[in-house]
Structure 1
Amino acid sequence: MKLYQPGDTSRAICPHCGKLVSTTFAYRDVPFEDGSGVVKGILAAVCDECQNVIAIPAQSTPAIRRARDAAEISLEVSIPAPEVEILDAAAYRVDPSATTRFRKSLFAFYLQRLRHSEETAEMLRRDFEAWNAVKTEQRKRVSRGIRIPHRRLSFKISPKTDRDVQWLMETSGMNKTDTVRSVVMEIEKDLLGPNTPRELRHLQDIAAVVNA
């Protein structure tokens, strides 16, 4: 790997100027591509004509990764233990070798299917209320006075995923815990039902990447 120093020069295509330009390496604050944050003071190739950052050398990648990790948001709720087990059982159906890391991928995948449709969010709330009533009654009958523990479910999610969670909360009128539980409900219906889920192959591909 070539290590660049401030003041080193190179040439690259500038997307702003639309041509091959000379560049000079300098320290700059660089925003993430998705607009979720900024990594401060990394070495980058700067166009000599328009002064925009147009390339990032490999040596700056660790700083970008650290900045992105710091920008992640904690999603943490306490839910009934059987619902955490639903996530793990669903993950096992997708990939028997999946680790707990795959819980977040499952959650994010199903969240994407629910977002940005007010009609879907309203239907989700109604379905969750009915599902929760059934689960509560089942636990009362089966537990016979045995306490059902709650477990902490915690993910580090991107600002974009956090915005999707916030949108679903606001649109459905559910709090954060019930919003997460409603996604668990969708996972149970799709992955733990009697039929083979239509997205199973796609999820298996995701699991292979997550567990690589």
Structure 2
Amino acid sequence: MANEKELIEKAILSIQEVYGVSRESVQRLMELTNGNEKVRFVSIKGYNSDKSLNTEVADQVVNINANYGNMLDKDALTLNNVVLKRDVEPLIATWDYEGKYDLNGVSVADFKKQVKEALEIALQELRNPKTGSRESNDIWLNKALAFNTNTLRLSVFGASISKTVKQEGVYKKVKSAPKTVAKQIIQKAVEPRTAQIRRFTMDNLSIMKMDGETLEIGGGQTEGVEIKA
């Protein structure tokens, strides 16, 4: 089995080939996003949302120095203080069920009732999330960058702090269980900090440059990578 150093080397070579960039550029990107104080944010230009089947295009600014552990602790306190009747149930009445979901023939009234009945167990599961490990195709280059050997895409991990939509997307209605919708409504009510933490896949490494504490990535250039520190 390959060790961590060998896996990172494999990822670097793959990134060079897939994105058409030099080894020096990949290593510089790793250095800039490796938890140093110089870079706090990554701005991804022309980000495509998977949820919109890549029809939405936006500029995303991601905080790569967010303390995930602290955010989890604060979210746990927030969830423990939730009162469903006071904080969540008012949203059930106004939630856009028909606009967001494929109800599969169930009436809005019946689905709304099922969501309300699922609130208690949904809240308990949010308070006690499942933990465990599963097989992953990710190679982590540092705490902020991961390369997936299945999709052959590099992504940045962090908290979304702003989003500027450049092209509106079309979002397909999805089939969701009442408990899943109940969790979404609870999260909307409490706005957990960790809800902003996720992976942002980068399809374009054509140009990178520093702007203060922000590393800007993308922007439509095609002649290779230029990193200005």
Q: Same fold (TM over 0.5)?
A: no
TM-score when normalising by structure 1: 0.25
For the pair shown, the structure with the greater C-alpha radius of gyration is 1
Which has a greater percent of helix?
Answer: 1
Task: Give the number of the structure with larger relative contact order, counting CA–CA contacts within 8 Å between residues 6 or more apart.
Answer: 2
TM-score when normalising by structure 2: 0.24
